[in-house]
Amino acid sequence: MKTFKTFKKKPAKAGKITKAILGKKIGMTQVFSDTGLRIPVTVVLATPNVVVQKKTIEKDGYNSVAFGFGEIRDKLVNRPKMGLFKKAGVKPVRHLREFRFVDIQPYEVGAQVKVDVFNVGDTIDVQGITRGRGFTGRIARWNMSRGPETHGSKHHRQMGSTGACSTPSRVFKGKKMPGHYGVERVTIQNLEIVKVDLDRNVLLIKGGIPGPKGSLVIVKNAVKGQKRPKQIQQKKK
């Protein structure tokens, strides 16, 4: 008989996330800076998130913290999630998301996370689900060019060739063709926080973010483009 080697599962590495919050996209507006510059911003309503669960390496194999956001009726919550909420001693929430923070010590089950974890000028990444656009053609979906408009080409918005003939007698996977467009998870990186309103639980983020109005968005600290501290090199004597 063949013998198979058994490999011990390595613990997952901690990410670069130090702070995050769940929110709802309200829409876009504009604000003016002190110098009179007009800034387009997206308004994100981030009511206090509650810490529902905390996982550790000793018990679960990795460190993480689960945040809850949004109200929901008890009758709409299934039993496994209801048991999780009762164990944590918190009210049921609509959305649950898990974050692998670099340090999970500051977070305790039942505690609240508010918008003041971010400051004005912070660089952030925003994640959301894009707006669904239904079934679209190759031009709208993949930004392809259209065919000639004159001389009776009869090829204006058609697909065109999808592959060879008898060899290989099939269409390769991943071919860019018409189909369902949108409803994809997209992350916009290195955005800037323009204003933090703790009284209204609102974040103003410079620029646009993915998703329609009322959709769930995740705001995290930026993992790329962060300025590293300069290392002071001592001159050799």
pLDDT of 54: 94
> pLDDT of 185-211, one tens digit each?
999 999 999 999 999 999 999 999 999
> pLDDT of 111-122, one tens digit each?
999 999 999 999
pLDDT of 3: 57
Is residue 137 exposed (0-12), middle (13-18) or buried (19+ Cβ within 10 Å)?
Answer: middle
Q: Which two tokens stand for residue 40?
A: 């387009």
CATH topology of domain 20-132+184-221: Elongation Factor Tu (Ef-tu); domain 3 (2.40.30)
Q: Model's pTM, two decimal places?
A: 0.83
pLDDT of 226: 63
pLDDT of 232: 44
Radius of gyration of the chain (CA): 24
pLDDT of 160: 85
Q: Which two tokens stand for residue 153?
A: 């080409």
pLDDT of 2: 55
Give the distance between the most distant pair of CA atoms in the chain.
81
Which residue numbers in the chain have pLDDT < 50?
12, 229, 231-233, 235, 237
pLDDT of 111: 93
* Separation between Cα atoms, residue 70 and residue 49, nearest integer Å: 8
Question: Over the chain, what is the mean pLDDT?
Answer: 89
Domain ranges of the chain: 20-132+184-221, 134-181
